[in-house]
A and B are shown apart, each in its own frame.
Chain A
Amino acid sequence: MLPDELAINIARESSRNVRRAILMLEACYVQKRGALTKDQPVQKTDWELYINQLAVEITREQTPQRLMAAREKLYELLVNCIPANVIIKTLAKELMKNLDDSLKREVIEWAAFYEHRISLGSKEIFHLEAFVAKFMAVYKKYLNDLFA
């Protein structure tokens, strides 16, 4: 029934979370209407893709307009009941993927800083946005230094 290759992929994607693994498996099952194939892609959840997209956007362009767009995306995530600490953690991890090593430490540090503020404060969106703005500032500075 379940090809080993697919099971391995699901296991990798699920990050040791059994609930997630089984949900992913069911998603695969429904997608192919019961026939599981070994090379079928494991669907990430929509919110993960959404955060991924957000990360790509804010690394591509650091402008006030982009920040406004990011705010909308963050609101969208929050109204869909994704907890703010999950958002900031996932976002930081996504940003790590295409970031220069010299910046990683700083970005992680800010992520931790704003995550702490999220748990202290009551308005999550402020701190999420502040993190995005901070990231933009840090990244822009890095780019300017690089090409200056």
Chain B
Amino acid sequence: MLWVDKYRPVKLDDLSYHDTISQRLSSLASNPESMPHLFFYGPAGAGKKTRITALLGSLYGPGASRLKLDKRTFTTPTKRTVELNMITSNYHIEISPGDAGLNDRFVIQDVIKEMASNKNVGASATSSERKSGAATFKTVVLVEVDRLSRQAQAALRRTMEKYASTCRLILVCNNQSKVIEPVRSRCLGIRVGAPTEDEVRVKADCRTQLDTVLQILPLLHRYAKS
């Protein structure tokens, strides 16, 4: 396993910079009912995905990290089939709809409808079993939304409102200007910038190599500016 994956922080508390974002995310996670759709944007390698995984972890508990890779085929109304990879857990689904090319509109509608139509397992359990404060919705993580076609983005605006009660969306992209304004305004935008000097906080860990990995961060910040 590569270090990038091996030492990826898994909890919101473990994140070592952008503390304000981490705090906001943990306050969202502590009161999931009030969580809006989220829209993460920022340059590559800044930690968007890491933050999302951590957020999902604190929303749903350890179940959210039991992932499996699915290959699904979608059939468009014009009888064309599109094959797409998706990463799923019991609580969320992660998909890169841009891979579907011109048929991305049908793919996202299908996926969101399907996710919204069957309720979260945790929510359907009897109230005594339910962990208090656990999220009752499922989450759809759409990555690379800046690659979505205009039509797909337009279709997204209706869909995301309609199913807002049972399903939350997390949109991820590098360039927010490629996402249409109506979609952006329906989400809470969170900018994850590349690390800068002021936000450094290094946490030492007893795991052997992790020390080395974390040591790089402050230096990265210091030289990021020059």
Known: A4-B219, A7-B216, A11-B220. A26 touches B194 (CB 8 A): no
B212, A14: Cβ atoms closer than 8 Å: no
A1, B215: Cβ atoms closer than 8 Å: yes
- Flag whether B150 is at the interface (Cβ < 8 A): no
- Flag whether B67 is at the interface (Cβ < 8 A): no
How far is A99 from B3 in the complex, measured between Cα atoms in Å? 38
B195, A18: Cβ atoms closer than 8 Å: yes
How far is A36 from B216 in the complex, measured between Cα atoms in Å? 13
- Flag whether A102 is at the interface (Cβ < 8 A): no
How far is A145 from B4 in the complex, measured between Cα atoms in Å? 51
Contacts of B45 in A (CB 8 A): 14, 16-21
- Flag whether A8 is at the interface (Cβ < 8 A): yes
A1, B212: Cβ atoms closer than 8 Å: yes
Mark A1-29 against chain B: 1 for CB-CB distance below 8 A, else 0.
Answer: 11010011011101011111111011001
Mark B180-192 against chain A: 1 for CB-CB distance below 8 A, else 0.
Answer: 0000000000000
Contacts of B212 in A (CB 8 A): 1-2, 25, 29, 36
How far is A36 from B215 in the complex, measured between Cα atoms in Å? 13
Task: Choose one: B3, B43, B46, B223; the contact of A11 (CB below 8 Å).
Answer: B223
Contacts of A12 in B (CB 8 A): 223
A2, B46: Cβ atoms closer than 8 Å: no
A25, B2: Cβ atoms closer than 8 Å: no
How far is A116 from B215 in the complex, measured between Cα atoms in Å? 39
Contacts of A25 in B (CB 8 A): 3, 212-213, 216
Contacts of A36 in B (CB 8 A): 212
- Flag whether B24 is at the interface (Cβ < 8 A): no
- What's the minimum C-beta distance from B97 to chain A, rounded to whole angstroms? 17
B216, A21: Cβ atoms closer than 8 Å: yes
Within 8 A of B (CB), among A84-113: none
How far is A25 from B212 in the complex, measured between Cα atoms in Å? 9
A7, B215: Cβ atoms closer than 8 Å: yes
Q: How large is the interface on A (under 10, 10 to 19, 20 to 34, 35 or more residues)?
A: 20 to 34
Known: A11-B222, A22-B4, A23-B4. A16 touches B216 (CB 8 A): no
Chain B contributes a number of interface residues (CB within 8 A of A) equal to: 23
With CB as the reference atom, state the residue of chain B lying closest to A10.
Answer: B216
- What's the minimum C-beta distance from B99 to chain A, rounded to whole angstroms? 12
How far is A29 from B215 in the complex, measured between Cα atoms in Å? 14
How far is A46 from B11 in the complex, measured between Cα atoms in Å? 33
How far is A83 from B98 in the complex, measured between Cα atoms in Å? 14
B224, A11: Cβ atoms closer than 8 Å: yes
Mark B189-226 against chain A: 1 for CB-CB distance below 8 A, else 0.
Answer: 00000110000000000000101110111011011100
A26, B3: Cβ atoms closer than 8 Å: yes
- What's the minimum C-beta distance from B56 to chain A, rounded to whole angstroms? 19
B215, A22: Cβ atoms closer than 8 Å: no
Q: What are 17 inter-chain pairs, A to B, with CB distance below 8 A? A: A1-B209, A1-B212, A2-B212, A2-B215, A4-B219, A7-B219, A11-B220, A11-B223, A12-B223, A16-B45, A16-B195, A16-B224, A18-B45, A18-B220, A22-B213, A22-B216, A23-B2
The 5 residue pairs across chains A and B that have the minimum distance between CB atoms? A17-B45, A16-B194, A19-B45, A11-B220, A11-B223
User: A: which residues have CB within 8 A of B?
Assistant: 1-2, 4, 7-8, 10-12, 14, 16-23, 25-26, 29, 36
For the complex with contacts A2-B215, A10-B216, A18-B220, 10 further pairs of A-B residues with Cβ separation under 8 Å are A1-B209, A7-B216, A11-B220, A18-B46, A19-B4, A19-B45, A20-B45, A22-B3, A23-B4, A29-B209
